[in-house]
Structure 1
Amino acid sequence: MTGRDQDPTRRAPGGVPGQGEEAWRVQVDEKACMATGICAGVAPGRFQVRDGASHPTSPTTEPAPEVVDAAESCPMEAILVTHRDTGVRIAPEE
């Protein structure tokens, strides 16, 4: 086991960031969502389709390019990614 494996602050991909760590807020407009599953395919483990709509697996996530790709790939632009602390829009681009 390496020191990296023993790091108690290390999270699995898609883990929820702690206070003071950079984080994004992920929201899905369930009324706009068509449940195509593209987001779940682009960002496995970050989204799941259930009850006729996509849902983020966590309302906050560590920054990751696949989350941006999922928001940009949504045909209905139902996914909104913002900076957790500032509210600045990250994806999709306006």
Structure 2
Amino acid sequence: MRAHVDLNVCQGHGVCHMSAPDVFELDPEDGHSIVVVDPVPPHLEAAAQLGADSCPERAITVERTVRVD
């Protein structure tokens, strides 16, 4: 899974970070969300989805990736 934050839409509410602190941090300069794990490991996928779903601006998208072994 990959998570992406649209910085043109993000308003820095911080809800994603509160919902999924292992996936999202807030930029100390402007308060916008930053994805800190890319790709998102399987054990954090539910947290990444929760962070995206919690964003009041809908600035976060998550994309499931196909794993090829």
| Same fold per superposition (TM over 0.5) | yes
Residue 26, structure 1, aligned to residue 3, structure 2: yes
Can you give the 5+ residue segments of structure 1 that lack an aligned partner in the other structure?
1-23, 87-94
Q: Deviations over 1:63-83 (max 9, x none)?
A: 321111110010011011001
Can you give the 5+ residue segments of structure 2 that lack an aligned partner in the other structure?
none
Q: 1:1-94 maps to which residues of 2 (within 5 A)?
A: 24-50=1-27, 51-52=29-30, 53-63=32-42, 64-85=45-66
Between structures 1 and 2, the one with greater strand share: 1
Larger radius of gyration: 1
Q: What is residue 15 of structure 1 aligned with on the other side?
A: none
CA distance in structure 1 between the aligned counterparts of 2:26 and 2:64, rounded to whole angstroms: 23
Identity %, equivalent residues = 29
How many residue pairs get matched? 63
SS at match of 1:41: helix
Q: TM-score, normalised by structure 1?
A: 0.61
Q: Kindly indicate whether structure 1 or structure 2 has the higher relative contact order, using CA contacts under 8 Å at least 6 residues apart.
A: 2
